[in-house]
């Protein structure tokens, strides 16, 4: 293992995505490794927000139908721009709502308990908001939480594919799982899980929040029924950015569980009828009027992904995380760190997950020294070198800083507990 700084510089020289770093605003004197929580602002995203503001200024209400980006069709256009990232057809994706609102919509639409099939299958490692939503939907349908099955983890960090399949019993009506686990970064085998669910007559959907913009997907090819995700992590859509959802075209024509103004067929919407004619695409699963200013950044950031290509993004992401793990093993052996993410490329998402008993303190020390990590209770450190704007030299610098923190025990200056926002 070459641990020299010159090798990191060499890797940066060979990087065919290095020019994309100039597209982003990088905080001064900071190594930003928290892009799996909130991506950085790009100059194009900034420009696209200004463009929507200018259309409001110039056209007023006519901005819904006039200008370069008519607002009435923006959600569908952004869905079309996103479709290659998830392996879908353009009409199967729409940018709308928030992550949890979209999950509520999709469960309300696809969870149809009947006879013995009344249960929802999830897992115990999922992000809490998904579980909150699933419990709410069960309650709305008259069921208690005993109807929520959560697959157990054998090690506290990962899930076993066969354990999930074994939980697909004949009383399960719906499955909702993460594509990538938010702590450990494990990629679930979505293709196999979808096949096994459908073999048993079960609808299945995935939360792509920690995989979108980081790994390729093939949702339509795999036959996934639905998916949903936020756009502010690897996709750099900005804080509070409008989210997205995918619905396989085999379900088109069905009414959404939660109907709303923008669920309508666009040709019928302003007929003002009290009987909904749903859109014959993923747009049917919209509820309210698009949030234009929170959607606008995606015009710029999705353009960057179209230019870079998700295949090249994934290839560099794997090189970055492999390099980070190799340096950690070479430089930090004996300091109490455990690499708790999968080391196999096929099973690892876009971040490295370290466990350490002093994790909260170490994260505070890193931040003081100019590295922005992400702490996860109780003992986790997530480090996400993002392909579009992080460098191999930053990976090298981060490990050097981390080693200094451990050798000099700089973490002892801080309390070993999280802040209000971890």
Binding region for pyridoxal 5'-phosphate: 99-100, 127-130, 207, 210, 232, 261, 289
Task: Please state, in angstroms and rounded to a whole number, the distance separating the CA atoms of residues 387 and 400.
Answer: 20
Task: Please state, in angstroms and rounded to a whole number, the distance separating the CA atoms of residues 380 and 133.
Answer: 25
The string over 110-136, giving b where at least 16 C-beta atoms fall within 10 Å of a residue's C-beta and e elsewhere, is bbebeeebbbbbbbebbbeebbebbbe
Task: Classify residue 98 by burial, with Cβ atoms within 10 Å: 0-12, 13-18, 19+.
Answer: middle
The string over 300-333, giving b where at least 16 C-beta atoms fall within 10 Å of a residue's C-beta and e elsewhere, is bbbbbbeebebebbbebbbbbbebbbebbeebbe
Asked if residue 212 lies in contact with residue 85, where contact means CB atoms within 8 angstroms, the answer is yes
Asked if residue 5 lies in contact with residue 391, where contact means CB atoms within 8 angstroms, the answer is no
Task: Please state, in angstroms and rounded to a whole number, the distance separating the CA atoms of residues 387 and 17.
Answer: 8
What 3-state DSSP class applies to 41?
coil
Task: Please state, in angstroms and rounded to a whole number, the distance separating the CA atoms of residues 311 and 39.
Answer: 19
Count Cα neighbours of 127 within 13 Å in the Cβ-side half-sphere: 20
What 3-state DSSP class applies to 382?
strand
Q: If we measure between CA atoms, which residue out of 101, 81, 104, 102 comes closest to residue 93?
A: 81
Dig out the tokens for 123 from the structure.
């897992």
DSSP assignment of 174-188: EEEEESB-TTT-BBP
């Amino acid at each position: 293992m070459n641990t020299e700084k010159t090798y990191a510089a060499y890797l940066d020289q060979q990087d065919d995505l290095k020019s994309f770093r100039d597209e982003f605003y990088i905080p001064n004197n900071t190594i930003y490794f928290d892009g799996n929580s909130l991506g950085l602002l790009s100059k194009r995203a900034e420009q696209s927000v200004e463009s929507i503001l200018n259309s409001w200024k110039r056209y007023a209400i006519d901005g819904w139908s006039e200008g370069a980006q008519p607002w009435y069709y923006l959600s569908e256009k952004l869905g079309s721009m996103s479709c290659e990232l998830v392996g879908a057809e353009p009409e199967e994706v729409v940018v709308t709502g928030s992550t949890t609102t979209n999950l509520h919509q999709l469960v309300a639409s696809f969870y149809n308990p009947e006879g013995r099939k009344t249960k929802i299958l999830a897992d115990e490692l999922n992000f809490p908001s998904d579980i909150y939503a699933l419990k709410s939907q069960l309650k709305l349908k008259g069921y208690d939480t005993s109807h929520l099955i959560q697959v157990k983890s054998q090690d506290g960090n990962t899930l076993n594919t066969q354990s999930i399949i074994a939980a697909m019993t004949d009383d399960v009506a719906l499955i909702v799982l993460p594509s990538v686990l938010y702590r450990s970064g494990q990629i679930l085998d979505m293709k196999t899980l979808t096949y096994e669910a459908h073999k048993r007559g079960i609808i299945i959907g995935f939360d792509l929040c920690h995989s979108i913009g980081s790994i390729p997907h093939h949702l339509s090819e795999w036959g996934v029924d639905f998916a949903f995700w936020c756009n502010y992590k690897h996709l750099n859509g900005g804080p509070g950015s409008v989210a997205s959802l995918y619905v396989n075209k085999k379900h088109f024509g069905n009414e959404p569980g939660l109907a709303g103004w923008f669920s309508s067929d666009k040709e019928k919407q302003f007929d003002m009828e009290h009987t909904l004619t749903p859109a014959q695409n993923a747009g049917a699963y919209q509820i309210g009027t698009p949030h234009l200013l929170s959607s606008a950044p995606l015009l710029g950031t999705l353009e960057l992904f179209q230019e870079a290509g998700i295949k090249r993004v994934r290839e560099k992401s794997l090189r970055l995380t492999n390099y980070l793990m190799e340096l950690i093993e070479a430089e930090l052996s004996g300091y109490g760190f455990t690499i708790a993410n999968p080391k196999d490329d096929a099973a690892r998402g876009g971040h490295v997950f370290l466990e350490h008993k002093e994790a909260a303190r170490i994260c505070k020390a890193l931040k003081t020294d100019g590295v922005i990590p992400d702490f996860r209770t109780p003992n986790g450190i997530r480090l996400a070198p993002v392909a579009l704007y992080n460098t191999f030299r930053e990976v090298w610098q981060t490990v050097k800083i981390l080693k200094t923190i451990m050798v000099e025990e700089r973490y002892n200056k801080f309390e070993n507990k999280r802040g209000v926002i971890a």
